[in-house]
Structure 1
Amino acid sequence: MLRRVALLTNFIPPYRLPLYKAIADRVPDFQVFISTPMEANRSWSPNWDGLNVTVQKNLTLQRSWKHPHGFSENLYVHIPYDTLWSLRQYRPDVVISGEMGMRTAQALLYRKLNPNSRMILWATVSEYSELGRGKLREKLRQVLVPQADALLVNGQSGARYVRQFGVSDPSIFFAPYTTNIDPFLAVPLSRGPLDAYRLLYVGQLVERKGIEPFLSTLERWAKAHPDRTLEFWLVGEGPLRSRLEQQVWPSNLRLRFLGNVEYGKLPEVYAQGGIFAFPTLADEWGLVTNEAMAAGLPVLGSSYSQSVEELVVEGETGWQFRPDEPEEMYSALERSLSMSVAQLEQMRTKARDRIQYLTPDFVADNILKAIESVC
């Protein structure tokens, strides 16, 4: 009989809390082990109210990573070195391990030392997010991934990625990124003629998010349409902000930097946007797509985001493009800004309808199916 489930992860972002609580509602004894209360480059305050959480002994390394799509990024690599000891103290029936490194290696060792236990690997990856990760990491995954009793993936791109390691479909379960979308669903769908075309971006202002090539496309569009004014609001902070603020843009392209916004106040910001822009160069999911669609914003998004690939239907809930293809990105922007106010109104309704199923309860049920399958 299932008694205890341990979740091993880096930290608990605010959008994950509703899902973890939904899992706790379904499991008699659920314990979350985190490597750090919060990563240094995050603006959120640690909050795991209502969960049983243990902060592990952990070594954090920083390294720079160059992605084939042209951006560089500083990464935090967490090595929670007391994982095996913590698991032996807690003695879970099922271990759900995030990432595919030393944390999972220790979880698998616990699995071997306790033959009645099971290990589920939560692979929050996509084909694009994992490009250029290096031969050593690939070889480690070739060893670790096939040993998992089941795998959780975000979507079809994640499933395609783990299949290369010999994983069969019956052991793959889908657990897309989700959050409590009720506050976003409460945002009024109606927009005024000016608000309907206002572009909104929410996220870190870093190279990976593709803001600079997207702004080059906006600049080109603004020069080609001098009779129209285009507003682009950006929520978030990052090293690109100061450079973008100092740059001179066409007079009919107006940028507004809102800085970091408390997570609970984001629905108020989405309510003022008309079209959500998500030009990322690589994202394992992109929860902002969920939030935007729930708030009624069609998404002008990069197909290198798994959420865009899964949720955005061309001309119905948004428009897709590859951000490293300038003409393709410009064409998608042109299509979005050529829509009538009435057409955008219809798309807002379709965007909201498309996302309503993707709740913490829905994903928690899928995770419970994975747990039951290995037990």
Structure 2
Amino acid sequence: MRAGARPSDIVSDAPGPPPVVVVTGALAPYTHVLYERLAERLAGRDGRALHVLSCTQRERARQWVMPPPLHYRHAVLPGLRWHRSSIRNLYVNPAVVPRLAALRPAAFVLNDFSPTMLMAAGAARLRRIPTLIRTDCVPETDPGQGSAPHRWLRRAIVSGAAAGIGPSAGSGAVLARYGLPPERFVLSPLFPAWTPSAPPPDSARPYDLLFCGMLNEEVKGARFFTDVVLGCRALGRPLSVRVAGDGPLRAEMEARFAQAGLSARFDGFLGQEALPEVYASARLFLFPSRGDVWGIVVQEALQSGTPVLASPHSGAARGLLEAHGCGEVRPMIVADWIAATVRLLDDESLRQGLRRAAERALPHFTAEAAVTGYIDALEPVLAGCA
């Protein structure tokens, strides 16, 4: 638990039309890019400012170093933070209520669900401030399916929302489950925060297989990845493997690879500036997710010319790889993944076909498309504001 300092840039008498306020858990590289672009669009539209309020400076499992914002205003709300695990955080920031009163926004965008978002939604309704709800969640990762408190929280927030925003049809289905009319849902795709240079040919890629993400099993499938790699090795297949990321399974993975005499590079956590080289260093990216709401790593691999073999348990698998035929999606069965991995590594023409499909698909998943989704959702509200 930590308390944040009161920000000096949250003022009640700023000139211009009422601002748009976004409340989020913590900034991420791609959301920073999104908010910079959105702030520019809002300023160009009618001189309106964008304020972003974070529940915490940084989630415990994330090590991103964020640059200071240039076009939007950012503040960290004081309050309570429970980092329950490497993937679960709970935020209670009562300060969001007086901040809302001070800013008097034209609209409030809530990012996902927490007690902080519930307090913000309640305060906004009392002040008749239109509220929009954004979520990455898809039905398979919705905790409301098995938890009455989660269901109640979501219904309480969604029921009064003027619109919903999300990266996939699955996100719209989740919001509809809790009361948002489907016609009020607007797509705003996720996108990588960086752009690579021209992808190198396979002959210049020193690694066969790449894993990038937190090294846990419950979400990222790191142990499943290890089983697949060792299964390929058991077939007599020589492999070079790169693992970018850190987490509780790192020591186990290193030990199992070493015991099998397999060459594996472990990078640990890497900053955004190192990622272009990482993704361009392998011929195939494995994404054995057990429950990612989306999976930006899939797009990062595709834009680097690296084909993807993924599980069906992520928004990116359904909304990008399957929808656009630009990657292989297989159930989480080790034997199937071993066969698919070997086939993809052996068939250069198959990999080239997936690269071409990715080149056609990725223009639909850009920062500009994401900002346009936000503007489309906000426009009915802003059109009636002074």
Alpha carbon RMSD of aligned pairs, Å? 2.3
8 Å CA contact retained: 1:150, 1:374: no
Q: Which of 12, 16, 19 in structure 1 is aligned with 2:27?
A: 12
Worse-superposed segment, 240-249 or 205-214: 240-249
What pairs with 1:313-332 in structure 2 (closer than 5 Å)? 313=322, 316-323=325-332, 325-332=333-340
Residue 49 (structure 1) aligned with residue 69 (structure 2): yes
What pairs with 1:1-375 in structure 2 (closer than 5 Å)? 3-27=18-42, 28-50=48-70, 51-63=72-84, 75-115=88-128, 117-131=129-143, 134-182=147-195, 184=196, 186-192=197-203, 195=206, 198-207=208-217, 208-224=219-235, 226=236, 228-248=237-257, 251=260, 253-313=262-322, 316-323=325-332, 325-339=333-347, 341-375=348-382
8 Å CA contact retained: 1:17, 1:48: no
User: Structure 1 111/314 Cα, relative in aligned 2: closer, same or farther at 3 Å?
Assistant: closer
Q: How big is the shift at 1:123?
A: 1.4
CA distance, structure 2, for counterparts of residue 187 and residue 170 of structure 1:
39
The DSSP-based 3-state class of the residue aligned with 1:274 is strand
Q: TM-score, normalised to structure 1's length?
A: 0.88
CA distance, structure 2, for counterparts of residue 178 and residue 10 of structure 1:
18
Q: How big is the shift at 1:252?
A: 6.9
Q: How big is the shift at 1:233?
A: 0.8
User: Structure 1 159/107 Cα, relative in aligned 2: closer, same or farther at 3 Å?
Assistant: same
8 Å CA contact retained: 2:188, 2:372: no
Return structure 1 stretches of 4+ with deviation > 6 angstroms: none
8 Å CA contact retained: 1:314, 1:320: no
Q: TM-score, normalised to structure 2's length?
A: 0.86
8 Å CA contact retained: 1:222, 1:250: no
8 Å CA contact retained: 1:101, 1:140: yes
The DSSP-based 3-state class of the residue aligned with 1:209 is coil
Q: How big is the shift at 1:320?
A: 0.3
8 Å CA contact retained: 1:219, 1:249: no
Q: How big is the shift at 1:47?
A: 2.8
The DSSP-based 3-state class of the residue aligned with 2:266 is strand
The DSSP-based 3-state class of the residue aligned with 1:247 is helix
8 Å CA contact retained: 2:61, 2:87: no
CA distance, structure 2, for counterparts of residue 123 and residue 63 of structure 1:
20
Aligned to 2:3: none
8 Å CA contact retained: 1:119, 1:148: yes
Gaps of 5+ in 2: 1-15, 43-47
CA distance, structure 2, for counterparts of residue 334 and residue 269 of structure 1:
21
CA distance, structure 2, for counterparts of residue 235 and residue 9 of structure 1:
26
User: Structure 1 315/358 Cα, relative in aligned 2: closer, same or farther at 3 Å?
Assistant: closer
8 Å CA contact retained: 2:230, 2:257: no
Q: How big is the shift at 1:151?
A: 0.7
User: Structure 1 143/49 Cα, relative in aligned 2: closer, same or farther at 3 Å?
Assistant: closer
Q: How big is the shift at 1:307?
A: 1.0
CA displacement 1:87-136 (0-9 Å, x = unmatched): 00011010001122222222222222222x21000112122222466221
Aligned to 1:70: none
- Paired letter, 2:355: R
Worse-superposed segment, 122-131 or 20-29: 122-131
8 Å CA contact retained: 2:118, 2:157: yes
- Paired letter, 1:200: L
CA distance, structure 2, for counterparts of residue 36 and residue 312 of structure 1:
33
Identity %: 23
CA distance, structure 1, for counterparts of residue 294 and residue 204 of structure 2:
31
The DSSP-based 3-state class of the residue aligned with 1:285 is coil
Gaps of 5+ in 1: 65-72
CA displacement 1:331-372 (0-9 Å, x = unmatched): 433442342x23323322332332133111110011100001
CA distance, structure 1, for counterparts of residue 323 and residue 183 of structure 2:
30
- Paired letter, 2:271: E
